[in-house]
Amino acid sequence: MDRIPILQMGKCLLVTIQVDLQDQTALALQDDLATKIEATGAHGVLIDISALELVDSFIGRMLASISGIARVLDATTVVVGMQPAVAITLVELGLSLEGVRTALNVERGMQLLTAAAKERDLDGGL
C-alpha cells in the first residue's frame, strides 16, 4: 500500500496525507495526481495534511512541486488542515511554502476552489 488514494469530488481532487511520505510515495503521488488531473479535467486539488505532525523541507518541496505541476495543468492546489504547531515550525525553519495556497480546513479550501473556478469562468471569454 504505497500509493495515496486520490478522491474525486465533482471537479476537485482530494488527497489526504496520513503517513510519513517517503521519496517513492511522494513521486508516485505526483505522477498519479498529474494523470488524474488530465483524465478528469479537474480544476482544483485539495491536499489535507491535518494528520501530519511534522512538515520538513522535503514535504514542503513536494507540496510546492505538486502545486506547480497542477498549475501548468490548469488546476489550483490548496493545502488544508495544517496543525498550528506545524505552521510555527515551518516559519521557524524558514520554509514559507511560497506559491502554495492554504486554507484552514477542507470546507474553506473547497470554497476557495469554487471561487477560483467562478473567476476563471468569468475570464473564459478571453
Stretch that binds a copy of itself, among 4-12, 66-74, 92-100, 114-122 (CB under 8 A): 4-12
Question: Which residue's CB is nearer to a copy of itself, number 96 or number 111?
Answer: 111
Q: Strands 6-9 and 12-16: what pairing? A: antiparallel
| 81 sits near a copy of itself (criterion: CB under 8 A) | yes
Q: Is 27 in the site for a copy of itself (CB under 8 A)?
A: no
**Window contacting a copy of itself (CB under 8 A); options: 1-9, 29-37, 59-67, 87-95:** 1-9
Q: Give the separation between CA 4 and CA 32, rounded to whole angstroms.
A: 9
- The H or E element that residue 7 is part of is strand 6-9
Q: Total residues contacting a copy of itself (rule CB under 8 A)?
A: 23
Of 94, 20, 95, the closest CA to residue 53 belongs to: 20
Choose which of 38, 107, 119, 121 interacts with a copy of itself (CB under 8 A).
Answer: 107
Burial class for 116, CB neighbours closer than 10 Å (0-12, 13-18, 19+): middle
> Which residues touch 99 (CB under 8 Å, ≥6 apart)?
64, 67, 68
How near is the Cβ of 122 to a copy of itself at its closest, in Å? 25
| Contact status: 51 vs a copy of itself (CB under 8 A) | yes
Enumerate binding residues for a copy of itself (CB under 8 A).
Answer: 1, 3-5, 7-10, 14, 16, 18-20, 48, 50-53, 81, 105-107, 110
